[in-house]
Copies of this chain bind each other. A is one copy, B any other.
């Protein structure tokens, strides 16, 4: 139980070290933002010599970019798992909303990371060669679902999939990302089990209520 019980022999492993650093940096940037993050703490979290961070990642800025790229890679990979092309349109919309909701719940770092990046006017994102190439499959999936729904006479016509995608994301994003201020203002728990169920239900009702023509 002693903090320093064993000298913790760490076998030299470049890949491992880099991954540890990235993981630690993700946590740190998510918790404190780019400006508030500390390289020292990242080194501590990664259990790595601070100098090693600079060895692999040139600077705080480029470390942040690497973390951001990893975050986009992460969500894109998950998105790919979500196959909606064969699914009934109404059910597909449900899954899409639930997916976004759950992903944000499970990856709160993603939200704060995006906030940081927007505070910095997407400065890092624009430098990235990787991220712009990682197209989200969701918009195309959504376009397909909307079209199938419309052809089946279920959904309304003329819905811009990009707008709807942004709306679906925004419904979860704002609720989760601002839960601290919102719950204080409304004096109401937003993240309890019951509240979550209600929110997901509301969002689904909202979007399907809009889409479905009867």
Once the chains are docked, how many angstroms separate the CA of A178 from the CA of B104?
15
The yes or no answer to A84 lying at the interface (CB within 8 A) is no
Given A126-B184, A180-B122, A210-B209, verify A167-B202 contact (CB < 8 Å).
Answer: yes
Q: Which range contains the number of A residues in contact with the other chain?
A: 35 or more
Among B126, B132, B175, the residue within 8 A (CB) of A166 is B175
Interface residues of A in 171-214 (CB under 8 A from B): 171-175, 177-188, 198-199, 202-203, 205-207, 209-211
Whether a CB of chain B sits under 8 angstroms from the CB of A125 is yes
- Residue A18, interface by CB 8 Å: no
Residues of B within 8 A of A179 (CB): 118
* Cβ of A54 under 8 Å from chain B: no
Q: Does residue A79 face the partner (Cβ distance < 8 Å to B)?
A: no
Tell me if A163 is interfacial: C-beta within 8 Å of chain B.
yes
Asked if A11 is at the interface of the complex by the 8 Å CB criterion, the answer is no
Chain B residues contacting A199 (CB-CB under 8 Å) are 163
